[in-house]
Amino acid sequence: MITVNPLEVEGMFFTAICVELPKTDLLIIANEVGYIMCAALDIDLLNEKLADRKIVAGRAVGVRTIDELLHAPLEKITESAREHGWKVGMIGKDALMLIA
C-alpha cells in the first residue's frame, strides 16, 4: 500500500509518503525543493552518478514512522543539501525548514 498525505511542519506544508513493502516501509517527506528519506536512500548514488541533477536530499537511519523521520538526525546528505545549509546530524524537521 502507498499512503500520501499532506504534512504541516511549523506552518509549512510538505508531502509525507509511506510505501509499505515486505518487512520494511519506505518513508519520504518532500516538497518541491528536496526531501528526507529513510535509509533506503542511496546518497552516494545521488552525489556520484546523479550529481548533475543537484538533488537536495538527506537520509535518516532506523526510522519506522514519518514522525520518527522528522525527529531523527540525518546520517547522510547530498552535496546540494549542504548548499541549502543542511548538516549531517541535524534533525529532519530542521533540514526541511531550510528548504520550506
Q: What is the CATH number of the domain that holds 56?
A: 3.30.1980.10
Render pLDDT for 46-99 as a digit per residue (tens, 0 to 9): 999 999 999 999 999 999 999 999 999 999 999 999 999 999 999 999 999 999
Instruction: Determine if residue 55 is left, alpha or beta; phi over 0 gives left, psi from -120 to 50 gives alpha, anything else beta.
Output: beta
Residue 6 clears pLDDT 90, i.e. is over it: yes
Residue 50's domain comprises 2-97
pLDDT of amino acid 41:
80
The per-residue DSSP string of the chain comes to -EEEEEEEETTEEEEEEEEEETTEEEEEEE-SSEEEE-TT--HHHHHHTSGGG--EEEE-SS--SHHHHHHSBPSEE-HHHHHTT--TT-BHHHHHHTT-
Q: Return the percentage of the chain with pLDDT > 90, whole number.
A: 90
Render pLDDT for 12-60 as a digit per residue (tens, 0 to 9): 999 999 999 998 899 999 999 999 999 888 999 999 999 999 999 999 9
Q: How many domains does the chain have?
A: 1
